Structure 1
Amino acid sequence: MSVLRNDVPASLVVFLVAVPLSLGIAVASGAPIAAGLVAAVIGGVVAGAMGGSVVQVSGPAAGLALVVAELVHKFGWRVTCMITLLAGLLQLLLGLARVARAALGVSPAVVHGMLAGVGIVIALSQVHIVLGGKPQSSAVDNVLALPAQIVNHHGHAVLIGLLTVGVLLVWRRLPKVRVVPAPLAALLIAAVPAALLGCLTKVDLSGGFSSLQHPLLPQGEWFAVVSAVLLVALLAGVESLLTCVASDRMHSGPRANLDRELTAQGVANVISGACGGLPVAGVVVRTTTNVRAGARSRWSTVLHGVWILVFVTAFGWLIGLIPMEALAALLMFIGVQMVNLGHARNLRNHREMPIYFVTMAGVVVIGLAEGVAIGLGLAAMFALLRLTRVSVRARAADDGRWRIAVDGSLTFLAVPRLTKALAAVPSGAAVDLDLNIDFMDNAAFEALQAWRLEHERGGGTVDVDEVHSEWYVNAVSGTRTSQGKTHMRHDQWWLPWAHRRGSLDAASPSGAWQEPAHTDHADVSDRSDVPVGADARTAALGVAPVAGDAQADDDPALPGLMEGTREFQRRTAPLMRPLLHGMARRQAPTHLFIACADSRVVPNLITSSGPGDLFTTRNIGNLVPHATSAPPDESVTAAIEYAVGVLEVRTITVCGHSGCGAMAALLGTTPDLPGLRGWLRHGRPSLDRFRSFEESEGPLPDGGRLDLLCRINVMQQLDNLRTHPLVDDRVRSGRLELTGLYFDIGTARVHVLDEDGFVPVLERTATG
């Protein structure tokens, strides 16, 4: 039913569009008129049935008209058919080798520029026919001869041409007649005055398909023939595959299989060349028409080819009524449309407009193959420049310390800029060198290493911090590095500020890792959360804490905060901006996460979550006041109500942690701070529950009492959550789940609460 309801009507619409376009492309190619119709039939039936896209329509393509015209002029039509056949064999082999996606590596700027250039050449040649004259041998000659053509040639041909173009321009603006495609309507309307005048050139389709000639092997010039085969195969294949990719954006059906599509295009071109037809390729205009007409399957494409075959066989004589001047006007109109400025505007955002216009100019002035080659070369040069682009910034801080930031790919091309920035650093200065690079060649390394050695001999210091893989470190140590560019590594974003600024001396001139100069090893051995005997590289990465805990005495908090903000803006914000842009209007978290305000507990870190995942509330002791507590606590209650009632979260998690200061205060003496003392009254139910446990199980060692209270506190807060009616109703109905977590800071291990108590997450995963 779907075929009858959707595909049959769509096939008729595509058929009406394909017939005039196929005739026009045959004329522009210098081929027999029937050759365009043969290619349309084979493209529809063969490529449609075998292709990798369910909606793509194949047939003679305007983008190949210029190539075919040159081949016909150089080799004759029968050899051109053999070139089409051989190009199809090549496409077939490439499709079977599954290399279709390699065609997508061609810059779209080159493809669009090529099509625009072909469109200009077609338009310039056909405008002479519209004016009653004959086209010249090249686009440049057509431009030079155009003034004389305009002055000297006026008459009925101009009238028919202008009438055809006028219909093409206004037809789509007439809503009641849109069912008839504009190209068909233009040719039919133009045929009326042509028949009345009786003096215009008509399309010659005498003999129909029987008039076609079979392919002929060339006599000599094999190098030129092989080049032509490669050109036709690649241009037709790339155009087909790009159209295939574009067709996936037009419908919601099955996605295209590019290798299958390329194989089908090869088979179609083999058959078309053998039958005396034009080269076949996927065509954007017909594919777009097919989708807009409501096609759902490949039956629409196949049937449109069948309709063309039936029409030419039964009603081919009607084609003889079409005036050549009308076809020329149609081709001129199509050629102008191929210069799509919308593509140029899209390319402008990626700074690829020069590639587009240079390719277009090369095709028009020199030739198709030469223009494409120039465009590909320019695209490769632009890509090389982008890959080797580097930014070097040097500035001095208020304390006299210099910061040099290098971003991009550090190659020999960047050495002059790098050495200029390094030369601005005064002798003896302390330098922070941030290498935000994804590649470093030997020339850049030698320049950087020579400057560092010289600077340190002069009494200066250089702290190197690499954001990407350690190109500089590996070069110093002689470690073999990857040949390719590397992705940004994220192994330092979680480090405290004091461990990131100045603590990573990436590599000494001798190649050995250096521990931070301000690290106090006595403090390290006294800390339970840092393994004793950690290797030098681990210490250099910042695991070993600085003296005085998380913040150095000479490093105030505010500069650390601002430096961290600047680091976010420079490194992280560009990566997150597309994601956050989509979240800017609303949030939709699935979890309410209630955690302690302890600075060592980072909810997004221990849950590997990102923006938009957790709705978080934090307080001293991760407490959830009882719903009936007096006076009530509106802060936590408001967060719960908003998360459950408005955001409709599915899970509420209470996360406690080891060494909680609030729980230690409950076990000992609460500090004489009125606000804190008032808040900790909400923790007394946890303390009472803990004491009941001790009375039944016996006293615990001092080291275990705090840990147990921290865990019991999580259980108590889950019970307190059920005292809130909104939460309790959702839990009873199965729309909300309560979860307890416990984070052991010293071992960096997360435990989850189940029926047997707290179980480490890794053990739970391994066993369950």
Structure 2
Amino acid sequence: MSVLKAFRQDVPASVVVFLIAIPLSLGIAAASGAPLMSGLIAAVVGGVVVGFLGGAPLQVSGPAAGLTVIVAGTIATHGFAATAAIVAMAGLIQILLGAARLGRAALALSPAVVHGMLAGIGLVIALSQVHVLLGGDAQSEAWKNLRDLPAQIIGNHGHSTLLGLLTIAILLFWPRIVKTSLLPAALAAVAITTAVSAFFGTDVPRVDLPANPLSELTLPRWPDAGVGTIAGAVLAIALVASVESLLSAVAVDRMHDGPRADLNRELVAQGVGNTTSGLLGGLPITGVIVRSSTNVAAGAKTRMSAILHGLWIALFVLLCAPLLEMIPMAALAAVLVVVGLRLISLAQIRTYVRHRELPTYVVTAVGVVATDLLTGVGIGLALAVLVMLWRVARCEVRADSPSDGTWTVTISGTLAFVGSQRVGRTLAGLPAGASVIVELHLDYLDHGAFQVIDDWREAYTKAGGTVTVREAHEGWFQRATSGRLGAGKTATPRRFGSWTQWQDLDRQRRDAMAAGIREFERSVAPLVQPHLAGLARDGQQPEQLFITCADSRLVPNLITTSGPGDLFTIRNVGNIVPPYASGDTSVGAGIEYAVDVLGVSEITVCGHSGCGAVNALMTGGYTPDGTLGRWLSQSGVQFDNCGDEEGCVTANVAQQLVNLRTYPAVQAAEAAGRLTLNGLYFDLAEARMYRVDPVLGIRPLEAVS
């Protein structure tokens, strides 16, 4: 992309982000108890300095709601001038972390803890700012704000409350009414509320900025406290700002197809930004997902958008400060209430419910609200570690009563000494003298657990019973009996095969499909049942519609290494997509269901080598009036100049992508940027996948950026 074209897209994007940044920066400064200018200084430094040096070009940095609790506590303890010095020192810590290439270390934190922390911060912000909105004063602690909230609600309310409620109403309904991103809701809410306040001449507290901003910057001062206290405050700001910035950078990477973020460089840039902001009397800076996502959605292509947004803020403060001083403080408080509550994401809560990590999320959030940020995060991390240890040491044990006189005990997961007591109780409960099969589906077996099973087997056999130990995978039990136990945990491989293989395993069973089903229930079902149970409870949410041939040699989940719930699949002879005008109601129904109901973000058409349908179309080896002939004729492919079989299969895939775009549902989703179409070619002999390019033919996947 040319520099001029990128610049043309970056300028309007920078204006949109600038319009969002002004009210948010003022509101965050007010919520932190800092001078309002400090929020604007941080916004300028975040845009210009971090934008110029950062490793995530499309990320926009500035004062963030996630640090409000820490900053407010630091200001209350040390004063703002000392807080500015602490911010500058926190920046130096970030520079050291980035120089040591520890950028990715922050991503090792449990997302449930991070999002729980943000949810707790959001609650603290909302609880404090709702008092300001209602005409009162925020308390220093969340529980005090919660305690005083009922009295504040039933108390007397003036014009500030009405203006705040108007701001909230506009924030909630503006995106539903106005669809353009050039008029962000935060800007519209503050602007309209300010205009209403000015029109009616309401006497309410308003933004108060210095008459000469440059001459009244707050210079940093060394905190009047012990070294330990200062170090704690510095580390708290440095670590939280680093984690929030890096997580935001990773999230922004998922929103665009440009260069990926260099997290170590981004961490250094954030450090330089915080040091600069602190020295100039500004708030701490992080990468902000709200501004960054708006930047990407507005069409930004390079770091110039972030830099320009910082310059626009600086010019506006210097030239248009009287306009800012017309803004009611209640409007900024209302913006912060909504921003705080939006840090509690229902989508994330649903995700953690599905992944059984909701307790970690909730405990972290409650801990942040009930105590303080660092204590709450510490409690959340401790719970996350305990949950991890419980899952790592957890195994499933099931004893199935016999239908043919044989008991089957299935043990799956990780079997360590901490879980061996459960296994021992299950085995001890089996009737004496029976025939028992012990099925092991283990990714780890330690010596203590092995000893429990082996001792039971020996005693049970001596008492007249028979025991057969069968292992589906790594042979842990066999290795233990030969004295070779002790290797690390291993991943359970995906099982696949043919019905002929399952039939060979059980030659007395003539029904190959039934034999395969029995093998699935015996060795695979215990592994996938928890995942399938979750899908059964929560429903399917595939991101991909996969259209491919009905050829028995092509197994979509195998060649894409995907599992249940990943692919919504349409298979037919020749992976054909009849044009919308053909009136086909089978493939068409699947496409509309995937796009409109399931909301897939990608549709892939996959052809393959040795395709019988393509060969029939090439050679005319079909009856035109037959059912197969009428079906194949809907492909719309002209095979006159496609060359060999590979070229014809590629031409078929390319044509089906053209046919897909005749469907209104596909057209609308693609135009909205919600859907992408891909073509693939699978070479059966090579067991290798290629990308289909309508112009260049097939290309290796790794050759396509």
Name the TM-score, length of structure 2 as normaliser: 0.74
How far did 1:581 drift? 7.7
Q: 2:63 corresponds to which residue?
A: 60
Instruction: Give the letter aligned to residue 270 of structure 2.
Output: Q
| Cα separation, 2, equivalents of 1:144 and 1:205 | 32
2:519 is equivalent to residue 564 of structure 1: yes
Counterpart in 2 of 1:108? 111
CA distance in 2, matches of 1:12, 1:421: 67
Q: Which residue of 1 aligns with 2:22?
A: 19
Within the candidate set 330, 343, 346, 2:335 is matched to: 330
| CA positional deviation for 1:173 | 3.5
Using the TM superposition, give the Cα deviation of residue 251 of structure 1 relative to its aligned residue in structure 2, in angstroms. Answer: 1.8
Structure 2 counterpart of 1:587, one-letter code: T
Indicate the residue corresponding to 1:124 in structure 2. Answer: 127
Cα displacement (A) at 1:343: 1.8
Aligned to 1:297: 302
2:644 paired residue number: 735
Does residue 341 of structure 1 match 2:361? no
1:587 and 2:590 matched: no
Query: Partners in 2 of 1:169 and 1:251 — Cα distance?
Result: 27
Deviation of residue 497 (structure 1)? 5.0
Aligned residue type for 1:204? D
Q: 1:113 to 1:563 in 2, by over 3 A?
A: same
Which of 466, 474, 477 in structure 2 is aligned with 1:469? 474
Structure 1 residues 264 and 445: CA distance shift in structure 2, 3 A: same
Cα shift at 1:60: 0.3
SS at match of 2:300: coil
Partner amino acid for 1:96? A
**Alignment partner, residue 356 of structure 2:** 351
Residue aligning to 1:231: 236
Q: 1:34 to 1:652 in 2, by over 3 A?
A: closer
Which of 68, 77, 86 aligns to 2:80? It is 77
AA partner of residue 54 (structure 2): G
Give me the whole-angstrom Cα distance separating, in 2, the residues matched to 1:492 and 1:481.
Answer: 28
* Matching residue of 1:28: 31
- One-letter amino acid matched to 1:78: A
Cα distance between partner residues in 2 of 1:58 and 1:20: 15
* 2:97 counterpart (90, 94, 110): 94
For structure 1, the residue ranges without an aligned partner over 5 or more in a row are 502-550, 594-602, 617-645, 654-719, 739-749, 753-768
| Alpha-carbon distance in 2 for matches of 1:70, 1:609 | 50
Residue by residue, what CA displacement relative to the aligned partner does 1:702-727 show, whole Å, maximum 9, x if unpaired? xxxxxxxxxxxxxxxxxx99996549
Contact 1:38–1:209, Cα closer than 8 Å, also in 2: no
Partner of 1:372: 377
Q: Counterpart of 2:290?
A: 285
Match of 1:320 among 325, 329, 338: 325
Q: 1:420 to 1:191 in 2, by over 3 A?
A: same
Counterpart Cα distance in 2 of 1:448 and 1:556: 34
The one-letter code of the counterpart of 1:121 is: V
Q: Tell me, what secondary structure is at the counterpart of 1:47?
A: helix
Q: In structure 2, the residue corresponding to 1:180 is in which secondary structure?
A: coil
Using the TM superposition, give the Cα deviation of residue 610 of structure 1 relative to its aligned residue in structure 2, in angstroms: 9.4
TM superposition shift of 1:157: 2.1
SS at structure 1 position matched to 2:437: strand
CA contact (8 A) 1:2 1:296 kept: no
Question: How far 1:399 moved relative to its partner?
Answer: 3.2
Task: Report the CA distance shift for 1:473/1:337 in structure 2 as closer, same or farther (over 3 A).
Answer: same
Corresponding residue of 2:205: 201
After superposition, the C-alpha distances for 1:594-640 in whole angstroms (9 at most, x for unaligned) are xxxxxxxxx99xx999999x999xxxxxxxxxxxxxxxxxxxxxxxx
Classify 1:463/1:271 alpha carbon distance in 2 versus 1 (closer, same or farther; 3 Å). Answer: same
What pairs with 1:402-481 in structure 2 (closer than 5 Å)? 402-481=407-486
Alpha-carbon distance in structure 2 between the residues aligned to 1:169 and 1:608: 45
Task: Give the deviation of 1:170 after TM superposition.
Answer: 3.2
In the TM superposition, 1:695-710 aligns within 5 A as none
Residue 549 of structure 2: SS of its match in structure 1? Answer: coil
Structure 1 residues 3-53: Cα deviation after superposition (integer angstroms, max 9, x where no partner): 342110010111011011001101111111111111111111122122222
* Inter-partner Cα distance in structure 2 for 1:609 and 1:22: 45
Give the drift of 1:323: 2.2
Q: Secondary structure at the match of 1:295?
A: coil
How does 1:602-751 map onto structure 2 within 5 Å? 650-651=609-610, 726=621, 734-736=643-645
Contact conserved, 2:83 with 2:223, CA < 8 A, in 1? no
CA contact (8 A) 1:171 1:178 kept: no
> Could you tell me which residue of structure 2 aligns to residue 263 of structure 1?
268
SS at match of 1:129: helix
Question: Could you tell me how far apart the structure 1 residues matched to 2:641 and 2:461 are?
Answer: 69
Aligned to 1:310: 315
Contact kept in structure 2, 1:39 and 1:279, CA below 8 Å: yes
Separation in structure 2 between the aligned mates of residue 580 and residue 112 of structure 1, nearest angstrom:
22
Residues 219, 608 of structure 1: alpha-carbon distance in 2 compared, 3 angstrom cutoff: closer
Over residues 155-181 of structure 1, what are the superposed CA-to-partner deviations in whole Å (9 max), with x where a residue is unaligned? Answer: 222233223223323333433886333
Would you say the 8 A contact 2:432–2:463 is kept in 1? yes
Match of 1:538 in 2: none
The 1:723–1:226 alpha-carbon spacing in structure 2 relative to 1, beyond 3 Å, is closer
Q: Which amino acid aligns with 2:398?
A: R
The answer to whether residue 154 in structure 2 is matched with residue 151 in structure 1 is yes
Distance 1:302 1:585, change over 3 A: closer
CA contact (8 A) 1:52 1:258 kept: yes
CA 110–573 in structure 1, closer or farther in 2 if over 3 Å, else same: closer
Quote the Cα distance in structure 2 between the aligned partners of 1:109 and 1:311: 39
Partner of 2:143: 140
Equivalent in the alignment of 1:628: none
Partner Cα separation in structure 2 for residue 439 and residue 192 of structure 1: 67
Structure 1, residues 136-194: CA drift from partner, whole Å, max 9, x if none? 22122112222332333322222332232233233334338863332223323333454
Give the equivalent residue in structure 1 for 2:681. none
State the shift of 1:333 in Å. Answer: 2.4
Letter of the 1:735 counterpart: D
Q: Within 2, Cα distance between the matches of 1:184 and 1:48? A: 22
Give the % identical residues: 43
Q: Secondary structure at the match of 1:587?
A: strand
Deviates further, 131-140 or 487-496: 487-496
Q: Deviations over 1:41-72 (max 9, x none)?
A: 11111221222222111100001011100011
How far, CA to CA, are the matches of 2:11 and 2:468 in structure 1?
71
Tell me by how many angstroms 1:573 deviates: 6.6
- 3-state SS of paired residue (2:325): helix
Q: Secondary structure at the match of 2:548?
A: coil
Secondary structure in 2 matching 1:321: coil
Matched, 1:486 2:490: yes
Distance 1:609 1:175, change over 3 A: closer
Alpha-carbon distance in 2 for matches of 1:647, 1:32: 59
Structure 1 residues 394 and 376: CA distance shift in structure 2, 3 A? same
Distance 1:35 1:722 in 2: 71
CA drift at 1:114:
1.6
The amino acid that maps onto 2:645 is L
How far apart are 1:307 and its partner, in Å? Answer: 0.8
CA deviation vs aligned residue, 1:428-469 (integer Å, no higher than 9, x gap): 333221110112233312211211121222233332222332
Report the AA paired with residue 241 of structure 1.
L
Higher RCO (C-alpha under 8 Å, 6+ residues apart)? 2
**CA positional deviation for 1:94:** 1.9
Deviation (angstroms), 1:286: 0.7
Q: Match for residue 54 of structure 2? A: 51
The one-letter amino acid paired with 1:564 is E
Following superposition, the deviation at residue 496 of structure 1 comes to 4.6
> Amino acid of the residue matched to residue 487 of structure 1?
A
- 1:37 counterpart letter in structure 2: L
1:745 corresponding residue in structure 2: none
The one-letter amino acid paired with 1:477 is S
1:509 corresponds to? none
Structure-1 separation of matches of 2:206 and 2:72: 21
Please state how far the C-alpha of 1:199 moved relative to its aligned partner.
Answer: 3.0
